[in-house]
Amino acid sequence: MVGNYQGGGGPVDRAEQASPDSVSATASCSQGAQSSATTLAEASDQFHPSRRGSTRLSAAAGLLSWLSPRAWCIETEAAQLARLVAPGSVCIDIGAGYGLYSTLFAAAAGPDGRTLAIEANPRLTKRLHRLATVLRAPSLQPIGAAVSSASGVDTQLSVPYRNSMPVFGRAFMLHGAAHHGPNSEFDRDRLIDLTTTTLDELTEEFGVNRIDVIKVDIEGAEYAMLCGAHAVLTRHRPLWMLEIEERHLAKYGHRAADVVDLMASHGYAMYRWRGDQWQRCSHVSPTARNYLFRIP
């Protein structure tokens, strides 16, 4: 999440060099919201907020896009993922936080698109509602929900504190977690009661009949979320960007390879942003944590 980013592309392992066709494969989303002639490289050339959207939304997205490769607190991949969102797209931001990706998605998709900003922390969900109002973005729909592998499970969200200040970007769901993992570094935490749902149930509940792009950053619960997204993976087959970090997955008893293998079992190829393009890769590197998945 925003605020603790350590860089989305560092030294490149020679063993990870991209295949020759890695950036020439089509970047179309499952339902044709993006042209099949558009490649990952071409789509990443420039960010164009919809001309028909809110002026405030377009201005905010333009600023965030400009800051993305320049500000340490904004992930480089944010603007690059938004460049793959076509007008009219349906996007889902899981672990929406303060709304960085949601703002970029809503601007790129425009008024004919739809962006669901899913956030488990009620405090941040309220801020997302306020953000949508301020930006005059009716297509941006904040949803308070804790997405996991099963629905109806009563659990808690652990929000860590450092020097009496909440660190929202490191909050995680206790359901399925054996320990606090890297969050043991914090002074204390505040627990918020939650009830889980699945992505499949959530999309059905909110009448989502098409999904083009999904971003997920939920501090290690990504694998569990995918286990509750079978219909999304098999029917909608959207473009995904997942945060994958061993240190966070470990507290749930999973490894980065588990996430990669699950996505591969559904026919997805993996990419990471390297230099100035999305490059295909086969495994998770300690120098990057955001990975793009698409059907070749």
- Read off the pLDDT of residues 247-290 as tens digits, 9 standing for 90 and up: 999 999 999 999 999 999 999 999 999 989 999 999 999 999 99
Tell me, what DSSP letter sits at residue 57? H
Q: Is residue 170 part of a domain?
A: no
Among 27-41, 92-106, 140-154, 191-205, the minimum mean pLDDT is found in: 27-41
The total number of structural domains in the chain stands at 1
Mean pLDDT of 218-238: 98
Q: Is the pLDDT of residue 32 over 90?
A: no
Kindly report the pTM of this predicted structure.
0.85
In a domain, 80, yes or no: yes
Q: Mean of the pLDDT values across residues 14-25?
A: 34
C-beta of residue 277 within 8 angstroms of C-beta of residue 227: no
Q: Residue 10 — pLDDT band, cuts 50, 70, 90?
A: very low
End-to-end CA distance of the chain: 27
- Give pLDDT, residue 45: 53
Listed residue (107, 184, 177, 187) closest to 140, CA to CA: 107
pLDDT of 27 strictly over 60: no
Q: What is the pLDDT of residue 44?
A: 52
DSSP 8-state assignment for residue 234? I
- Kindly state whether residue 187 falls inside one of the protein's structural domains: no
Residue 167 included in any domain: no
For 137, the domain range is: 22-142+209-294
Percent of the chain with pLDDT over 90: 80
Residue 54 pLDDT: 84
DSSP code of 85? P
Query: Does 150 map to a domain?
Result: no
pLDDT tens digits, residue range 119-171?
A: 999 999 999 999 999 999 999 999 999 999 999 999 999 999 999 999 999 99
Residue 41, pLDDT above cutoff 70: no
Looking up residue 134, the CATH number of its domain turns out to be 3.40.50.150
Residue 272 inside a domain? The answer is yes
Asked if residue 185 is part of any domain, the answer here is no
CA distance 69 to 84: 16
Query: For residues 40 and 19, what is the distance between their CA atoms, to the nearest angstrom?
Result: 14
Across residues 98-109, what is the average pLDDT? 98
Average pLDDT over residues 109-117: 97
Best CA proximity match to 119, nearest among 78, 168, 177 = 168
- Does residue 49 belong to any structural domain of this protein? yes
Contact 93, 49 (CB under 8 A): no
